[in-house]
Each structure stands twice: as structure tokens, then as C-alpha cells.
Amino acid sequence: MTSENPIHNALYLAFNRSQWAELRESVPLTLNEPELADLRGINEKLSLTEVTDIYLPLSRLLNLIVGAKQKRGLVLNEFLGRKPPKRPYIISIAGSVAVGKSTTARILQALLSQWPEHPRVDLVTTDGFLYPLAELKRRGLLQRKGFPESYDMKMLVEFISNVKAGNEHVKSPLYSHISYDRLTDDYQAIEQPDILIIEGLNVLQSGQDSAVGIQQPFVSDFVDFSIYVDAEEQLLKKWYIDRFLQFRGGAFSDEKSYFHHYSNLADNEAKTIAANIWDSINGPNLKLNIEPTRDRAHLILQKGYDHLMSQVLLRK
């Protein structure tokens, strides 16, 4: 079990696909019909082999890790002689734009909620904590969306700290990829789930990162288990362009879409525009602010061609 990266060798156990797939053990090989329907709804391109080989072992690992924390909580409560407070276990998912964070998060949400020990699994994305479009414009940050300074970090940290404290009703703002803005008339309510999954570009960032500033604490201070989804930049750029082309035929055709003016572009023009957005915003953000946080994660999922997982790295 070796990787080509010496830092990874020192910090992580590395598994190739078949080594990882063997670790599924007692998790049933087949999914029942409602589970399958749930997963197909998430992403029609998702292969079921990927679910059995990669995500079922991951679901088993997370079930064991969450269980260990729950047991520790019982010991602590007995020691303190108090009624157990209901605090969610928090899992974060970081990685580049277009690497598949939200797809991974939704698969894990569906699989983790099948375990009787933690049936309620909620999912939030940090996109909702981007400053509203008007505020981004006011601050001159329209070309820096996704960079640390484009998020209302105070609001995000307040949110995660309220969830972690076990508050009964915590509101999370919602982002629309259509209006390219925070929604003003809707929000998501988080009501003491067993597990909260939080996904975003920035969930592993901390005070060591100069662009983040030195305010404390950080999302990562509240996270119990962190995952980084990793892929080579040339693949990420391709996935970004592919998704942009898909949006052009779908979401952009909505008149309310911020990118409606892109909906009639020819293939080549659309590809050029998407490649430019990648090269000027998402690529530099990856190199400056996202990739440097990778080796803080408890688990790294490395994807190759076609989103197929090539290697899994687990902190020793």
C-alpha cells in the first residue's frame, strides 16, 4: 500500500480500488429498491459499481467512526451525571469546484441515513454563505467568487457553532446556481440531525492560510471528520466545461438565470468562455486556497478519468 507522494506515505494508509472494495465486509452487496432510486436521483451518471466498491466501504467506515464518538459521549455523560445533549456528528467535504463534492455528499447522505444508529443526516453547502451578489459587487469581488474573502465567514462559523451546540433550530441560507445569488425568500432549517454533512471549497481552511485572515474559530474547528475529494486539474477543468455545456442546454435557458445570455452560444464559444472562467477564477482558487488544505483531511478520495475513484487515503 504505497503512494507516490512521500507526505501521503507518512500520513496516510493508501488503498487502491480493489483493496478498498474488500473493506465493505458486512455491508450488504445489493441495495434495496428505494436506496437505488435515491441514488439514481442524485446523479444518473453515477455507476453502481462505484457505489458498491467505493461508497459502501466508506459508509461502513463512517458508521464505525460515528459509533465510536457516540460511545465516548455516553461515557462522558455517565461521568458528568447528566442527560445526553443531542449534538450532531459533523462531516466536512472539501475540494475544487466541479470535483463532485455535492454528488459525493448526497451519496453519503443517502447511505449513512440507512444505518439505524444515525438515520437523520442533513446536508448543507457553504455556497449559501457567499455574500449576496450585490455585496460581492460592492466589494469588487465578482471575479473572486469562491475565494475566502467572498464568504461571510462570521455567519458561517456562527451557523456551524450553533449546530454543534445542539441548538434545536438553526437556519442555513440557500444559494441558487440559477440566479447566481443567495435566496432571499427561503432557507434550510437544521433541527438536531444525527449527522450534518457540510460541503464546500473552504471547509478545511484555517488561520494558517493567509487569505483567510486570522479570525477564530474556523469551520474546521467544529468538524469531527473531514474528507477531501481530489483530482488532477486537467480533469477538473474538463468536468467544469462539461457541466457548463450541460447548464447551457438546461439551467441557463431559464430566463431568470444569471447566465441566460449564454444559453444560445455555439459549442465552441461556450467551451472558450467556460475555459476562461476556469483559468481566471476557479483554477487559481484551487491552487492558492483549496489544494493547500488537502493534507489536513482525515480521508482523501482521489478520482481519475470519468470520476472513477483511483485511490483512497486514510489518515493513520
Ligand X SMILES: CC(C)(CO)[C@@H](O)C(=O)NCCC(=O)O
Binding stretches for ligand X (CB under 6 A): 97, 127, 145-146, 201, 277, 281-282
Of 61, 90, 94, 97, the one binding ligand ATP (CB under 6 A) is 97
Q: Is 203 in the site for ligand ATP (CB under 6 A)?
A: no
CA-CA distances (angstroms) from residue 192 to 77, 119, 143, 162? 18, 12, 36, 10
Residue 277's SS3 state is helix
- The answer to the question of residue 45 lying near ligand ATP (CB under 6 A) is yes
- Taking CB under 6 A as the binding criterion, the range among 31-39, 100-108, 203-211, 217-225 that sits at the site for ligand ATP is 100-108
Does 100 interact with ligand ATP (rule: CB under 6 A)?
yes
Taken in order 149, 155, 158, 164, the sign of the CA dihedral is negative
200 is in an annotated binding site: no
Considering the complex, what minimum distance in angstroms separates the CB of residue 308 from ligand ATP? 8
Residue number closest to ligand ATP, CB atom = 100
Q: Which of 56, 91, 94, 98 binds ligand ATP (CB under 6 A)?
A: 98
When CB distances are held under 5 to 8 angstroms depending on the partner's kind, the choice from ligand X, ligand ATP, none that residue 277 binds is ligand X
Grouping H, G, I as helix, E, B as strand and the rest as coil, residue 18 is: helix
3-class SS string, 130-156: ECCHHHHHHCCCHHHCCCHHHECHHHH
Cβ proximity of 203 and 223 under 8 Å:
yes
Among 42-50, 181-189, 262-270, 292-300, the segment contacting ligand ATP (CB under 6 A): 42-50
When asked if residue 91 is in the footprint of ligand ATP (CB under 6 A), the reply is: no
Name the residue nearer to ligand X (CB basis): 145 or 303.
145
Select from ligand ATP, ligand X, none the partner in contact with residue 281, using the beta carbon and a kind-dependent cut-off of 5 to 8 Å: ligand X
Among residues 11, 13, 21, 43, the one that binds ligand ATP under rule CB under 6 A = 43
CB of 90 vs ligand X, minimal distance in Å: 20
Partner whose binding site includes residue 239, from ligand ATP, ligand X, none (CB under 5 to 8 Å by kind) = ligand ATP
Pick the binder of ligand ATP from 60, 238, 243, 296 (CB under 6 A). Answer: 243
Cell of 171: 437556519
Which residue of this chain has its Cβ atom nearest to ligand X in the complex? 146
User: Is 249 marked as a binding-site residue?
Assistant: no
Q: How far is the CB of 105 from ligand X (least distance, A)?
A: 12
Shortest distance (Å) from residue 127 CB to ligand X = 5
96 is in an annotated binding site: yes
Q: Is 124 annotated as a binding residue?
A: no
Report the amino acid identity of residue 184.
T
DSSP letter, residue 290: I
| 282: CB partners within 8 A, 6+ apart | 96, 97, 98, 146, 236, 240
Q: Which is nearer to ligand ATP, 43 or 167 (CB)?
A: 43
Please check whether residue 204 is in contact with residue 293, taking contact to mean a CB–CB distance below 8 angstroms. Answer: yes
Give CA–CA dist 21/33, Å, rounded. 22
Ordered alpha helix ranges (H), 165-266: 233-249
β-pair type (181-190, 170-176): antiparallel
Burial 109-142 (b: 16+ CB within 10 A, else e): bbbbbbbeebeebbbbbbbbbbbeeeebeeeebe
Q: Per the annotation, where are the binding residues for ATP?
A: 95-102
Residues that bind ligand ATP (CB under 6 A): 43, 45-46, 50, 95, 97-103, 239, 243, 307
